[in-house]
Structure 1
Amino acid sequence: MDEVEVVVAHSERATLRVGEVFLKVDADQARIDVEVEAMSRAPVPTPKVLWRKPPVLAIAAVPGTVLGRLGEPSTASPAAWAAAGAAIRKLHEAPLPPWAGRRRRGPDELVAELDGECESLVTNGVLPADLVIRNRRVAEAALRSWTPAFTHGDLQVDHVFVHDDEVTGIIDWSEAGRGDALFDLATLTLGHPEHLDDVIAGYGVDVDLDVVRAWWSLRSLLGVRWLVEHGFDPFAPGCEVDVLKSRM
């Protein structure tokens, strides 16, 4: 009998692993709908859907190992990071999905959300004011108009699997939709700035690196409170607070 491993669990969703099968439990059926549809449309390796019985989605494990983990040095080669960049480029050039994307917000909406979050972080003593103010300024570069692309929407480094310097699978598509391509690149390299050049080399197109770095600050500022409230530690070495400090 395989043991049941809790991969992630919080009030919104949980993912369990039993052998080579992942069970995703999500009360938000729209999120599961997006995940299944996005995986069917994405021109990159994705997990095989085994069955679905709301509120559970069963998918097969993908081969390979994760590209890295936030807060830990990546053991993947520069070529593997470049392969991830090439896969992301293929995704971004694919036909747009018909839905807008759960994370799609215009610049005005982002400004309002960011300003509210910054005020909360300072008022409640979560982060020092100078750290928040500096990163709010850096984040400004990301608050611009952009051309929509087919984006993953939550392309964390441990959502990309590689083997022999090739991408073998990209998981967790519940936030996919039409979005800012540079947000994907920033999410992948968050906490791993030393691999940004490798990713861009594989991506094969010049991008505005100031915007990518601005997304590092913006995503971290928006994420700290949510992470704390859901039992994660953004203060762990190499994680979101350290990312903010690196911008100083």
Structure 2
Amino acid sequence: MEEVEVVVAHNERATLRVGDVFLKIDADQTNTDVEVEAMAMAPIPTPEVLWRKPPVLALAALPGTALGRLGEPSTASSAAWAAAGAAARTLHNAPLPPWPGRSLDEIASRLDGECAWLVTNGVLPADLVTRNRRVAEAALRPWTPVFTHGDLQITHVFVDGDEVTGVIDWSEASQGDAMFDLAILTLGHEERLGDVLAGYGMDVDVDVIRAWWSLRSLLAIRWLVEHGFDAFSPGCEVDVLRSRM
């Protein structure tokens, strides 16, 4: 009998693995709607949808292993990281999904609120928040929308050797900033940025990617704390912010 592995679980959603099947349970079915439609549109490998019976979505496991984990050294090859960059470029060149992403005003307003919360509640020192808020400003500029994954962290990119076998967790896909995807992919792994950009194959503004590292970390910490994750673990979000000092 197959064992049930809890991949992730909190009060918004849970993912279970039973053998070669992943069962995703989401309280908000609009997230699942986006995920299924985005996977159908994406021009890169994605998991096969086995069946859907709300609130459960069943997906086939991808071959290979995750590119890495935040807070841990990645054992994947430079070529595998470059392949992830190439996959991101392929996605960004694809036709836009029909639904928009967050606007600049929405992101800036949320950033202000999260920074205030971090300081008011003593979660982070004010100088650390202020410095990273300034760095994050470079990301808050007009961009040409592309098809973005929206949460392209390395645990969501699967590789086998030097090839990408698929990308999972598409519930945040939307029209967005290409530099955001590249930033999430390299968050906490700055040493791999060169490999990713070599695969991406075009000039990018690295300062904007660095700005998104700060911005994304500032936005994520409260959610992580409130859902039982440790943003203070070595190499994770707080260390990303400290590296900007």
What letter matches 2:13 in structure 1?
Answer: R
1:104-123 residue pairs with structure 2 within 5 A?
A: 104-123=101-120
Distance 2:162 2:197 in 1: 16
- What RMSD over aligned residues (CA atoms) do the two structures have, in Å? 0.6
Q: Tell me which amino acid in the other structure corresponds to 2:187.
A: L
Number of aligned positions between the proteins: 245
Whole-angstrom distance in 2 between the partners of 1:53 and 1:148: 32
Query: Quick one: distance in 2 between partners of 1:29 and 1:229?
Result: 22
**Which SS does the other structure have where 2:150 is aligned?**
coil
Does 2:7 match 1:3? no
Provide the TM-score with structure 1 as the length reference. 0.98
What is the CA-CA distance between 1:108 and the residue it aligns to?
2.1
* Distance (whole Å) between structure 2 residues aligned to residue 36 and residue 177 of structure 1: 13
Which one of 175, 193, 217 corresponds to residue 172 of structure 2?
Answer: 175
Letter in 1 for 2:4: V
Question: 1:1-248, aligned counterparts within 5 Å?
Answer: 1-100=1-100, 104-248=101-245
Give unmatched runs, 5+ long, in structure 1. none
AA paired with 1:180?
Answer: D
Deviation string for 1:65-94 (max 9, x for gaps)? Answer: 110100000000110000000010000000
Which segment drifts farther, 113-122 or 193-202? 113-122
TM superposition shift of 1:238? 0.5
Letter in 1 for 2:95: P
Distance in 2 (CA, whole Å) between partners of 1:164 and 1:85 is 15
Find the residue that maps to 1:22 and give its secondary structure: strand
Report the 3-state secondary structure (helix = DSSP H, G, I; strand = E; otherwise coil) of the residue aligned with 1:243: helix
Distance 1:23 1:121 in 2: 34
CA distance in 1, matches of 2:159, 2:4: 24
Taking structure 2 as the reference length, the TM-score comes to 0.99
> What amino acid sits opposite 2:123 in the alignment?
V
**TM superposition outliers: structure 1 runs of 4+ over 6 Å:** none
State percent identity of aligned pairs.
79
Amino acid of the residue matched to residue 226 of structure 2?
Answer: E
Per-residue deviation, 1:62: 0.2
Give 1:105 deviation, angstroms.
2.2
Question: 8 Å contact 2:77–2:161 — kept in the other structure?
Answer: no
Counterpart Cα distance in 2 of 1:86 and 1:98: 23
- Where does structure 2 lack aligned partners over 5 or more consecutive residues? none
Alpha-carbon distance in structure 1 between the residues aligned to 2:106 and 2:30: 22
